[in-house]
Amino acid sequence: MYSSGPNVLSVAWPFSFKAAGLGSPDLEAAFARFNVSAFPHRALPHPQVPMLHAMLVMVTDLTVPLQLGVDESYTLVIPDDGSQAVLTAPTYYGALRGLETFSQLVGFNFSTHSYVLSNAPWKIADKPRFAPRLAH
């Protein structure tokens, strides 16, 4: 389920991912990977639109092991006024899915040399559509 709007945001470079609470080395490593993959170009701010600077990531349980049936759901909220985005997930694996979705929403505008996020505000609640197939 998702909803989006008509606005464009400029996305800060470098972008800041913040873990709520104690965080984890795995989550910090994921932030570093997504900063490299989502923001590969040196960028300038786009002065005509609000700027998104950061995302707060809140994970309920960072200790859940990857196993069949692990909850990979997440909710991603990106306001259109430049205040921080919020990603909530019950597990680390849900947070990874939300970070991947965020990276797909951000684009680089080569004319303005800036990162932009179109169709803000966004609210996305997602989870895997199909349960994994079990081998018998």
Task: Give the CATH number, domain containing residue 94.
Answer: 3.30.379.10
Look at residue 7 in the predicted model and tell me its pLDDT.
Answer: 96
Residue 73, in any domain of the structure: yes
Beta bridge partners of 122: 78
Residue 63, in any domain of the structure: yes
CA dist., res. 61 & res. 48, Å (int): 39
Residue 126 corresponds to which amino acid? D
Question: Which residue has tokens 């707060």?
Answer: 56
Q: What is the pTM for the complete model shown?
A: 0.90
Boundaries of domain holding 12: 2-126
Q: How many domains does the chain have?
A: 1
Contact indicator for 83, 92 with CB cutoff of 8 Å: no
Residue 134, in any domain of the structure: no
Strand-strand pairing, 114-120 and 106-109: antiparallel
CA dist., res. 18 & res. 21, Å (int): 9
State the Cα angle at 12 between 81 and 109, rounded to 5°: 95
Look at residue 72 in the predicted model and tell me its pLDDT.
Answer: 94
Look at residue 136 in the predicted model and tell me its pLDDT.
Answer: 45
In tens digits, what is the pLDDT along the chain, a chain of 136 residues? Answer: 999 999 999 999 889 999 998 778 999 999 999 999 999 999 987 778 899 999 999 999 999 888 888 999 999 999 999 899 999 999 999 999 999 999 999 999 999 899 999 999 999 999 987 665 444 4
